Amino acid sequence: MLLSWKQLVLLSFIGCLGGELLLHGPVFISEPSDSMVPVGAEDKRVTFKCEARGNPSPQYRWQLNGSDINLVVESRYELNGGDLVVINPHRDRDSGSYQCFATNPLGTIVSREAKLQFAYCLDEEAKVYGRPRVSWTACTEELWGAAG
Q: How far is the CB of 77 from ligand NAG (least distance, A)?
A: 12
Nearer residue to ligand NAG within complex by CB, 44 or 90: 90
The residue with its CB nearest to ligand NAG is 96
| Residues lying near ligand NAG in the complex (CB under 6 A) | 64-65, 93, 95-96, 144
Nearer residue to ligand NAG within complex by CB, 30 or 95: 95
From CA 24, how far away is CA 114, in angstroms rounded? Answer: 26
Q: How far is the CB of 96 from ligand NAG (least distance, A)?
A: 3
Q: How far is the CB of 122 from ligand NAG (least distance, A)?
A: 22
Q: How far is the CB of 100 from ligand NAG (least distance, A)?
A: 16
Nearer residue to ligand NAG within complex by CB, 53 or 93: 93
From CA 82, how far away is CA 49, in angstroms rounded? Answer: 7
Nearer residue to ligand NAG within complex by CB, 58 or 61: 61
Could you give the maximum distance between any two Cα atoms of the chain, in Å?
85
Cβ proximity of 98 and 113 under 8 Å: yes
Cβ proximity of 101 and 62 under 8 Å: yes
Q: Is the peptide bond preceding residue 132 cis, with omega within 30 degrees of 0? A: yes
Which of 82, 80, 146, 79 shows the shortest CA–CA distance to 117?
Answer: 146
